A = this chain, B = another copy of it.
């Protein structure tokens, strides 16, 4: 029996073991989804704390349901987690869900993928299927992963192991689309790898879409997020011009949305946050340099996004100026630090960047976010969230809406505040004294 026949037989008999490397925002929902569908899953985590939590069925990811986790860990025992990467040898298929951040110079930080590949190469058994889910530049699977795994394992791709790229499409907080019902794209090297990918993933995912190569699949994810980056950047730029021209950009967007074809609405804000949109396009920009190719749209969009925190700081300064106040010494309360509404995730949140800039100018910076009790920004500044009280609102010099959580009682907050800067059109449905509220 060939390796290929063996793994296909195991999948058919439902005796395969799927390893998931990285149990974060992507990996844990994926691991739980496979386990819920009766597949034996072994999660690998460098963090002992996270691995222990999983093994105690203590949930730490918003998109995972507590009861699902309890069920697959405690009842069906289909999911367990380990920090022992030598147990990779127990797995038939390995799905890599590790971070792909940018370093401080905005270059791809490939250390997490490299480390996973080294571990896999060291410990896997011959005939293992390997799929990368982390967003990365096209050619990563073929030109970056394959050589590491071949070197570490002494095996040959297509014979001793198979390679695939299948991008995660996790949208934190999305209540309609979760891991199992979001269509999943994959591209594998060779026909065998493609068949195995189809067999492995179809246990957990309802709709699969195959493309001809890993590099095509890598490009798919970058296209999706680049589309969002440039459109948010465009609307942020137009919003700044509209402000100067006495045009309400949100009114304009709502009207443009009445066009029944060829338009999709994006909304301005204090910048772009989250772990994908502000990062992924720069993976493409990185690899494009290898082809002497300048990605001018991404570059321009990135420049707009980089400047947004400073522009928001200026808005706050000009608002205070109307009250004859300087930033230096003013108390400023930020409402919402999550990068989008109704979630507890402050990664790459533009609110934190605006807070940094305002603090540099000597303001006392406070925040309130019902979803996030405390936060440490990437410069190491620690903030503890405030309780929202009328006393707090009336005591600060300016309130800044940075995230439009649905639970905010905007009318009440505006009433009790001296001055409001609204970067999210939070005041949309509130009758307001216009000299009290500054919009983007």
A interface list, Cβ under 8 A from B: 138-139, 169, 171, 174, 176-177, 182-183, 185, 207, 209, 211-213, 215-217, 219-220, 223-224, 226-228, 230-231, 233-234, 237-238, 240-242, 244-249, 251-253, 255-256, 258-264, 284, 287-288, 291, 293, 295-297, 299-301, 303-304
Q: Do the beta carbons of A212 and B248 come within 8 Å of each other?
A: yes
Q: How far is the CA of A299 from the CA of B296 in the complex (A)?
A: 10
Give every chain B residue within 8 A of A264 (Cβ-Cβ): 227, 264
Query: Closest approach, in angstroms, between the C-beta of A428 and any C-beta of chain B?
Result: 14
Give every chain B residue within 8 A of A300 (Cβ-Cβ): 296-297, 299-300
Q: Which residue of B lies closest to A230 (CB)?
A: B234
26 A-B residue pairings within 8 Å (CB atoms): A171-B262, A177-B260, A183-B258, A209-B255, A211-B252, A212-B251, A216-B255, A219-B247, A220-B252, A223-B238, A223-B256, A224-B262, A224-B263, A226-B238, A227-B231, A227-B234, A227-B263, A237-B295, A237-B296, A237-B297, A238-B295, A241-B288, A244-B291, A264-B264, A296-B303, A297-B304
Q: How far is the CA of A255 from the CA of B261 in the complex (A)?
A: 21
Assuming A258-B207, A297-B233, is B177 touching A138 (CB within 8 A)?
no
Main secondary structure of the interface of A (DSSP, over half): helix
Interface residue from B139, B242, B295 paired with A219 (Cβ < 8 Å): B242
Interface residue from B169, B215, B248 paired with A247 (Cβ < 8 Å): B215
Q: Which residue of B lies closest to A241 (CB)?
A: B293
Give every chain B residue within 8 A of A233 (Cβ-Cβ): 297
Q: Can you add 20 more A-B contacts, CB < 8 Å, to A234-B297, A296-B300, A296-B303? A: A138-B245, A177-B260, A182-B260, A183-B259, A183-B260, A209-B258, A211-B252, A212-B248, A215-B246, A219-B252, A223-B238, A223-B256, A224-B262, A226-B234, A230-B230, A231-B231, A297-B301, A297-B304, A299-B300, A300-B300
Q: Do the beta carbons of A211 and B295 come within 8 Å of each other?
A: no
Give every chain B residue within 8 A of A138 (Cβ-Cβ): 245, 247
Give every chain B residue within 8 A of A293 (Cβ-Cβ): 240-241, 244
Give every chain B residue within 8 A of A258 (Cβ-Cβ): 183, 185, 207, 209
Give every chain B residue within 8 A of A183 (Cβ-Cβ): 258-260
Interface residue from B171, B237, B261 paired with A177 (Cβ < 8 Å): B261
Q: Which residue of B lies closest to A252 (CB)?
A: B219
Q: Do the beta carbons of A245 and B215 come within 8 Å of each other?
A: yes
Give every chain B residue within 8 A of A247 (Cβ-Cβ): 138, 213, 215-216, 219
Interface residue from B248, B261, B288 paired with A176 (Cβ < 8 Å): B261
Give every chain B residue within 8 A of A226 (Cβ-Cβ): 234, 238
Q: How far is the CA of A118 from the CA of B46 in the complex (A)?
A: 75
Q: Do the beta carbons of A228 and B260 come within 8 Å of each other?
A: no
Q: How far is the CA of A237 from the CA of B217 in the complex (A)?
A: 18
Q: How far is the CA of A231 from the CA of B183 in the complex (A)?
A: 23
Q: Which residue of B lies closest to A212 (CB)?
A: B251
Query: Closest approach, in angstroms, between the C-beta of A211 and any C-beta of chain B?
Result: 5
Q: How far is the CA of A300 from the CA of B294 in the complex (A)?
A: 12
Query: Closest approach, in angstroms, between the C-beta of A272 and any C-beta of chain B?
Result: 13
Q: Do the beta carbons of B297 and A171 come within 8 Å of each other?
A: no
Assuming A183-B259, A260-B183, is B244 touching A223 (CB within 8 A)?
no
Query: Closest approach, in angstroms, between the C-beta of A157 and any C-beta of chain B?
Result: 18
Q: Which residue of B lies closest to A287 (CB)?
A: B245
Q: Do the beta carbons of A211 and B251 come within 8 Å of each other?
A: yes
